[in-house]
Amino acid sequence: MKQRTDNFSKFANQKKGSAIKEAYRQEKKKNKAAAKAEGDAFRQKKIEKAQGLIPEKKAYDPSEKRRTPSGKYPPRNKPVAYGTTRPVEPAKNKRSTGAAAEMPATASSEMMPLNKYLAHCGICGRREAAELIKKGKVTVDGDIVYEPGYKVTGREKVSMGGKALQLKHNLVYILLNKPKDFITTTRDPEGRKTVLELVKAATQERVYPVGRLDRNTTGVLLLTNDGELAQQLTHPSFEVKKIYEVTLDKLVTAKDLDQLLTGITLEDGPVKADAAGYADPKQKNIIGIEIHSGKNRIVRRMFEHLGYEVKGLDRVMFANLTKKNVDRGKWRILQEKEVRLLKYMNQAFLRKSAPAKNARPE
């Protein structure tokens, strides 16, 4: 039977011939070249800026505020309000001046939301940080702040659970081939095994998983202390693609494959696969599916909706990361070029625009 999409065939059938493997290698080479070119352009722009060839933006000066039509200056923002800023007092002694000087430029010269600051400290991702803030777990200069969007500069004393937080400078990126029976979380109140136990020898830094895999779902999982990258890879607007191999309790009909591509409606709204096909035409109970939705247990729920029981679920790709040469339960540190590809969000692993009609290729 013909494959449903060209999108999935390059992954599902990569072992069927050298031509497919070569096409995949060429596409990967092209994507690397594009990322390198973008990186070179970014570095050149940075050099030109340092040489004064590109004028820097004028710093904001509160004294230059425009007056209102009535001739009066607008009122000052009040502190501890959503999206506003805490007035930063000038350094009063050498010690405070030195502390500010030691902070990274992004922290000392720019304001950032409190939840983003926590993510850069390696505590968790931005969304998890927002929940911690709303629960009153975080203080700024001794005051409890409940708004995730509350702005900080990095000079403040930010604490959680009585422990002062510091921005992370040593960023770590770990790819894990997750086995069954491990929880994708930093800790479990029921005492079950977590994925952090598998990577505890990888680094002394505090890392956390990017996204989640169910307890019985296996495959590619990224762990890091880079909160900004974690936000990019999990935010729905980026539509980062994920590819799964699904083993089902019975043969999957062509009609149901088409239904996955057309779309189905679950209890929390409509959803559809970006690509789907038989991983092996001789085993029609094993399906390859590409999807960008980050909804909870989405792949399992899609097949259960169609009347199938999922016997095995393995994530074979997340973003541009695969589990190649990483045995089940093992991990490896990402290479610098892999991290660069992730941060540039190149089109190699972003979901491609779907065709107008999900028809079988001729």
Residues 165-206 pLDDT 10s: 877 678 899 999 999 999 998 888 888 999 999 999 999 888
Q: CA dihedral defined by 349, 355, 361, 362, rounded to 10 degrees?
A: -140
Residue that is last in its domain, among 167, 190, 206: 167
pLDDT of residue 187: 82
- Residues 211, 331: one domain? yes
- Residues 179, 316: one domain? yes
- Residues 215, 238: one domain? yes
- Total Cβ atoms within 10 A of residue 177: 22
Assess if residue 352 is contained within a domain.
no
Alpha-carbon torsion (260, 262, 265, 269), positive or negative: positive
Closest C-alpha among 188, 213, 186, 220 to residue 316: 220
- Residues 198, 260: one domain? yes
- Residues 188, 157: one domain? no
- Residues 137, 280: one domain? no
Could you tell me what percent of the chain has a pLDDT over 70? 72
Whether 188 is catalytic is no
Assess if residue 94 is contained within a domain.
no
DSSP annotation of 360: P
Poorest-pLDDT segment among 109-118, 315-324, 347-356: 347-356
Assess if residue 138 is contained within a domain.
yes
pLDDT of residue 358: 41
Residue 311 scores a pLDDT above 90: yes
CATH number at residue 301: 3.30.2350.10
Residue 95 scores a pLDDT above 50: no
Q: Please report which residue ranges of 306-335 form alpha helices under DSSP H.
A: none
Q: Three-state SS string across the chain, please?
A: CCCCCHHHHHHHCCCCCHHHHHHHHHHHHHHHHHHHHHHHHHHHHHHHHHCCCCCCCCCCCHHHCCCCCCCCCCCCCCCCCCCCECCCCCCCCHHHHHHHHHCCHHHHHCCEEHHHHHHHCCCCCHHHHHHHHHCCCEEECCEECCCCCCEECCCCCEEECCEECCCCCCCCEEEEEECCCCECCCCCCCCCCEHHHCCCCCCCCCCEECCCCCCCEEEEEEEECCHHHHHHHHCHHHCECEEEEEEECCCCCHHHHHHHHHCEEECCEEECCCEEEECCCCCCCEEEEEECCCCCCHHHHHHHHCCCCEEEEEEEEECCEECCCCCCCCEEECCHHHHHHHHHCCCCCECCCCCCCCCCCC
pLDDT of residue 197: 93
Assess if residue 74 is contained within a domain.
no
Mean pLDDT of the region 280-294: 90
pTM: 0.57
Mean pLDDT of the region 216-236: 89
pLDDT of residue 99: 32
- Residues 177, 313: one domain? yes
pLDDT of residue 204: 87
Assess if residue 89 is contained within a domain.
no
Number of domains in the chain: 2
- Residues 175, 148: one domain? no
pLDDT tens-digit profile of 116-152?
Answer: 888 777 677 778 888 899 999 999 998 999 999 999 9
- Residues 267, 292: one domain? yes
Residue 332, φ and ψ in degrees, nearest 5: -150, 155
- Residues 138, 175: one domain? no
Residue that is last in its domain, among 167, 189, 209: 167
pLDDT tens-digit profile of 12-25?
Answer: 554 555 666 677 77
Assess if residue 330 is contained within a domain.
yes
- Residues 147, 233: one domain? no
pLDDT of residue 144: 92
Assess if residue 308 is contained within a domain.
yes
Mean pLDDT of all residues belonging to the chain: 77
Assess if residue 100 is contained within a domain.
no
Q: Where is mean pLDDT largest: 36-40, 70-74, 223-227, 238-242?
A: 223-227
Q: Could you tell me which residue, 52 or 270, shows the higher pLDDT? A: 270
Q: Could you tell me which residue, 113 or 340, shows the higher pLDDT? A: 113
pLDDT of residue 18: 64
Residue 96 scores a pLDDT above 60: no
Catalytic residue among 141, 181, 214, 274: 214
pLDDT of residue 351: 57
- Residues 202, 224: one domain? yes
pLDDT class of 232 with cuts at 50, 70, 90:
confident
Residue 64 scores a pLDDT above 70: no
pLDDT of residue 38: 80
Poorest-pLDDT segment among 234-243, 284-293, 309-318, 338-347: 338-347
Q: Which residue type is seen at 201? A: A
pLDDT of residue 90: 42
Show the domain range for 162: 105-167
Mean pLDDT of the region 251-260: 94
pLDDT of residue 102: 34
pLDDT of residue 240: 87
Closest C-alpha among 78, 76, 147, 144 to residue 116: 147
CATH number at residue 126: 3.10.290.10
Mean pLDDT of the region 204-211: 89
pLDDT of residue 78: 42
Could you tell me what percent of the chain has a pLDDT over 90? 36
